[in-house]
Structure 1
Amino acid sequence: MLITPGKLLAGINSPEDIKKLDQAQLVQLCEDLRQFIIDNVSVYGGHFGASLGVVELTVALHYVLNTPYDQLVWDVGHQAYGHKILTGRRDQFHTNRLYNGLSGFPKRKESEYDTFGVGHSSTSISAALGMAAASQYLKIEDKQHVAVIGDGAMTGGMAFEGLNHAGVSDTNVLIILNDNCMAIDPNVGALKDYLTDITTSRTYNKLKDEVWNLLGKLSMFGKSAQEIVSKVENGIKGTLLSQSNLFESLNLRYFGPVDGHDVNHLVAVLNDLKNIKGPKILHCITTKGKGYAPAEKGNATTWHAPGTFDKITGEIHKKIYSVPQAPKYQDVFGHTIVELAKANDKIMGITPAMPSGSSLNIMMKEMPERAFDVGIAEQHAVTFSAGLATQGLIPFCNIYSTFMQRAYDQVIHDVCIQNLPVNFFLDRAGFSGADGPTHHGAYDLAYFRCLPNMIVAAPMNEAELRNLMFTAQLPRTEKAFSIRYPRGQGVMPHWRTPMEEIKIGTGRKIRDGEELAILTIGHIGNYAVEVCERLAAQHIEVAHYDMRFVKPLDEAMLHEIFSTYKKVLTVEDGCVQGGFGSAVLEFMADHNYHADVKRLGIPDRIVEHGEQFELHHESGFDPDGIEKAVIGMLEHA
């Protein structure tokens, strides 16, 4: 069903239409926009709390700025629902995150208003600064460059790198810190405490308002008057806060904190800041889920992306099953690490800002001294884990596959070169689903298998994940261990199986066959099980091997396979270029075997968003695609 927008919002087809409104009408436009987001997400699902928290800021920015000429960068992207609705995509918004529909994040090829694609966090300052530097070089003086950074993204190291560079530039860049004290889970770390100090200093805020007013009155008297006011303001900040102002120390003009839900005050502030040249930061205080009581008063993590819900009662819709269901892989990890840690006091859990997403929050609750949320800081998470390993502890570092890409250098330099036994658990491996290409875990098999001193494995089901976790915590003095698993449910409702060691580099034969063998890695092997049963019903017997390890490969098993079968099909939910199938081809070439080999996996292109099964089908390795490939190979002489 299509959601009917409110009267004012119905007339907004671009930011130019917002500018036609009287400023007094902006409050009602904000209400219309907020209700439209609530109505759509309650029916169709998606991210929720973050976009509600920036409704007023979004309206104010598009009212004041000349977008898309002025450059507006959102960080992180799930803040940008209101931005999408106001920039010509209102009537398509019901397709948000659906297959072939709108992306859930800003996307350059989707709209000229989306100046920079953002899925991972902490990139906006660097991107906006690059845009501002380009304008400076091209002698374009009237263009504004604004980075809206929020939802914990300021804790990412790249944000600090951008701040450090911005402070020594004289570019016209405005950084807006959307401070809601939340990422997906509550923010952690010293920066969060520092921002709280600024926010809650009543004396500073009172004097700050007086200085702000004075700045506005004196601005007409020229640069010298502004410099005097600036010095007074800086003195107040340094004297009244327990620390000197972090942002001012980086040579960024700091303004705020301001109420991020007062749209008319935001308009006034943004108009003032347009006339102040150089790098500057505006600190906005917002509430995640603002305007929807269940989200404001409830668990902010739950309301980050709640799925569909009853907008009247706030009841989140949950599927009711008549039979036991398999758990999510992340929950198997979360419960199993606790089980192992109770028996092994050297196990430590680490995650970069995803304790609920990875289910490490279970360990954080039971063993808080042994589980660490390090913030949106994947590089730090890896090197911190390496430090733990040097002292004889056993780190279980859980990072989404797509986010591990950000820490690749640390894996090489700080783990593999030093040959440290760090255990990496890569959640959301393969297609992530509706989050799309910025979140797909497509590359980890390829980028880890090329590293010395790295073991690379993937379980086919929950029992195999538990066995691999058990194996990873057994004593060893070298080699990192990577274990990947997908988003979503496994296949075993009764998953709490006894754990046992798996010999490193060994696969298992699932089924004997004739002429053709299917080789799989990880959860996608369950598709092959289904295909083998379909084919058997047609009196076609093919073999199936669950290889379990991409590195080291089970060479004894591969010798058996290539000595027996002349046709081999490899299936993986990772990139086909350089992944598992490529490793099998390399083995075949190195040992002078000759066989007809076909590889199925994620193709060498950017695959957009959609349900995982839809993307498997598009890429040709769903059960139908595997069956078609087998039949085609068998029919080929």
Structure 2
Amino acid sequence: MTLKSYVEYFISGMAVARDIKGRRERVIAVISNWTTMAGQAYEAMSNAGYLDSNMVVILNDSRHSLLPKIEEGPKTFVNALSSTLSKLQSSKSFRRFREAAKGVTKRIGRGMHELAAKVDEYARGMMGPLGSTLFEELGLYYIGPVDGHNIEDLICVLQEVASLDSMGPVLVHVITDENQGDENSQKSDISDGQQDEGSVKSDSLDNPVRPQTYGNCFVETLVVEAEKDKDIVVVHAGLTMEPSLELFQEKFPDRFFDVGMAEQHAVTFASGLACGGLKPFCVIASSFLQRAYDQVVHDVDQQRIPVRFVITSAGLVGSDGPLQCGAFDINFMSCLPNMIVMAPSDEVELMHMVATATRINSQPICFRYPRGALVGRGYTISDGIPIKIGRGRVLVEGKDVAFLGYGSMVQNCLKAHSLLAKLGIEVTVADARFCKPLDIKLLRQLCKHHSFLVTVEEGSIGGFGSQVAQFIAVNGLLDGRIQWRPIVLPDRYIEHASPNEQLDQAGLSGHHIAATALSLLGRTREALLFMCS
């Protein structure tokens, strides 16, 4: 249902709705050990224990952790004894005996009932694995561990759990191994690699330079800055760590903190680091930063704490579809009073923005960059030049129509410029750089010398374009001859597709931007041809 810990909340609601409606269907959630890193999972389980509604939570424990140091600790193993005990715990006769014993002790008196409950808890804690009593304390009946690769045992336990009409919340702890059953495929991969060794070498000759990403550029630039400034640290949160961050981790292991899927903690932790005199770069994917917005507002922005937010996977994300699409960060970051919001249009600008963020010590700042390859095929890491806050730039000067791009969409504005130039239309292309504060001087200049202003961003309604509209409306610039048109992500979720296909669906390709300009100029037929190409 979801990759995050929200699923427990969801099934708690479904279970209560079922009870109120008088239905009898079973409500089951399957979660992974990754989701238990988020505090919301425990809130949900505690609430489930309090409600005491019938539901089953299956914890798929792959014994994998986002935090390497945790993996070094003791792991839960499944042997014949634990398998037998799991079957006993889930059996109908044992559960009925346990419920009958509870009823007897309640009739005897409160003291006897509490004593019996403690004895039951300690006995089950001694039989169960380390940490099993935690789920009991939350109000869930713990069964496990169960070998997830022993289908017969697993089916037996689940059938016993399903056989009881009134059982309350149950947690079934299933142990799985991600690598089990992969030996043959690994051998096949090795043999294939040996057979294709020559072809790999020829491919590497054809492609001597591997495509570099914005993430690579960011980390390499930050390493350069960190070698000069010992106060720079990195805090990363998310489902998995970007491979590019391994470079910083190797160079500065004591200044790199991967907190796993705990974005809320990452933000507040970074705030504490900043208050202690360090310069934290808090690296979180756009869609995951949504989970930590309360901390961004209260623990950072309200207190003007200089945390540097690096928002990755901004905009459309191709095959990951709407789940990890970074459509909203421009909106929810630019509405904060103390936040500086910027976005690079290429790798060189990214270097400059890293340098800019390093030198801001009076308030929070953020910048976003997309997935995918860089604009240029090759780049040389050098010292970034700090950008004056709120200062944009004009890349191409033209007339009549001005494209004001934000972030990676500046490149698509340049593509639209090239398409229109073939039709004899000269347009201005400007790189806003900053969503907040806006370059007021640049905006006045564009409105003064053009009839049409088109803002382009890879974000939802209410972002950069809205900031521009607010300024030009309040300052009376819309009262003159200028006409403004925003190009943003459509007001819907864009499903899985290739990046280029998603841009076409969103109307953000160079052809779509050029078509907008042609429509403004009254050349509707040519605009339609561009839209269809």
**TM-score clears 0.5:** yes
Matched, 1:292 2:182: yes
Report if aligned partners of 1:397, 1:422 keep a CA contact under 8 Å in 2: yes
Q: Does 1:491 align with 2:381?
A: no
Distance, in Å, in 1 between the alignment partners of 2:210 and 2:514 is: 26
Question: Alignment partner of 1:359: what SS?
Answer: helix
Matches within 5 A, 1:1-12: none
Write out per-residue CA displacement over residues 548-586 of structure 1, whole angstroms, 9 at most, x where no aligned residue. 0000001111111111111111111111x2111111111
Distance 1:444 1:152, change over 3 A: same
Q: Does 1:199 align with 2:76?
A: yes
Aligned partners of 1:516 and 1:565 also within 8 Å: yes
Letter aligned with residue 59 of structure 2:
L
> 1:523, CA displacement in angstroms?
1.1
- Please name the residue that 1:157 is paired with: 39
Per the alignment, residue 281 of structure 2 pairs with 396
* Structure 2 counterparts to residues 1-40 of structure 1, below 5 A: none
- Per the TM alignment, residue 311 of structure 1 is displaced from its structure 2 partner at its CA by 11
Amino acid at match of 1:615: Q
- Helix, strand or coil: the match of 2:18? helix
Change (3 A) 1:358 1:616: same
The TM-score, its normalising length taken from structure 1, stands at 0.73
Match of 2:11 in 1: 128
Helix, strand or coil at the partner of 2:242: helix
2:429 corresponds to: 544
- Please list the CA deviations of residues 259-315 of structure 1 after superposition, one character each: whole Å capped at 9, or x if unmatched: 1111121110001111341111111111225433377x69xxxxxxxxxx9798479
Map residues 212-611 of structure 1 onto 2, 5 A cutoff. Answer: 212-213=87-88, 216=91, 218-219=93-94, 222-224=97-99, 234-239=121-126, 245-276=133-164, 277-293=167-183, 313=192, 322=207, 324=209, 326-354=211-239, 356-357=241-242, 359-476=244-361, 478-498=362-382, 499-575=384-460, 577-594=461-478, 595-611=482-498
Give secondary structure in 2 for the equivalent of 1:483. strand
Aligned-residue offset at 1:198: 6.1
Q: Is the 8 A contact 1:330 1:359 kept in 2?
A: yes
The structure with more radius of gyration = 2
- Contact in 1 for aligned 2:240/2:260 (Cα 8 Å): no
Q: Tell me what 2:22 maps to.
A: 139
Change (3 A) 1:265 1:178: same
The equivalent residue for 2:63 is: 181
Counterpart AA for 1:480: P
Instruction: For CA contacts below 8 A with separation 6 or more, give which structure has more relative contact order.
Output: 1
* 2:92 and 2:160 in contact (8 A); partners too: no
1:194-217 CA-partner distances (Å, limit 9, x unpaired)? xx6461497xx7367347437638
Paired amino acid for 1:547? A
Name the amino acid aligned to 1:564. Answer: H
User: Within 2, Cα distance between the matches of 1:572 and 1:220?
Assistant: 59
Q: Secondary structure at the match of 1:330?
A: helix
Deviations along 1:241-276, whole A, 9 cap, x unmatched? 666721112121111111111112111000111134
Note the C-alpha offset of 1:514.
1.1
Tell me, yes or no, if the aligned pair for 1:401 and 1:427 is still in contact at 8 Å: yes
TM-align CA RMSD:
2.9
8 Å Cα contact 2:88/2:94 also seen in 1:
no
Q: Is the contact made by 1:189 and 1:375 (CA closer than 8 Å) also made in structure 2?
A: no
Is the contact between residue 219 and residue 226 of structure 1 (CA under 8 Å) also seen in structure 2?
no
How far apart are 1:593 and its partner, in Å?
1.1
Q: Using the alignment, how far apart are the partners of 2:139 and 2:69 within structure 1?
A: 23
List per-residue Cα deviations over 1:79-131 (Å, max 9, x = no partner). Answer: xxxxxxxxxxxxxxxxxxxxxxxxxxxxxxxxxxxxxx42x411111111111
- How far off its partner does 1:337 sit? 2.0
1:635 to partner: Cα distance: 2.1
Once the two structures are overlaid, the 10-residue window that deviates more, 241-250 or 168-177, is: 241-250
Please identify, of 533-542 and 233-242, the stretch whose mean Cα deviation from structure 2 is larger.
233-242
Residue 627 (str. 1) matches residue 477 (str. 2): no
- Please report the TM-score for the alignment, with normalisation by the length of structure 2: 0.86
Structure 1 CA distance for aligned equivalents of residues 77 and 265 of structure 2: 29
Kindly state the Cα deviation for residue 188 of structure 1 after the two structures are TM-superposed: 5.4
Task: Return the letter of the residue paired with 1:238.
Answer: G
Contact 1:527 1:622 in 2 (8 A): yes
Shift of 1:351: 1.1
Give the aligned residue type for 1:248.
Answer: E
What CA distance in whole angstroms lies between the structure 1 residues aligned with 2:132 and 2:171? 15
Give SS of 1:503's match.
coil
Q: Deviations over 1:335-355 (max 9, x none)?
A: 222222121111111111356
CA distance in 2, matches of 1:460, 1:216: 62
Instruction: Label 1:450 to 1:563 Cα distance change in 2 as closer, same or farther (>3 A).
Output: same
Which of residues 119, 144, 148 in structure 1 aligns to 2:30?
A: 148
Q: Distance in 1 between matches of 2:476 and 2:353?
A: 32
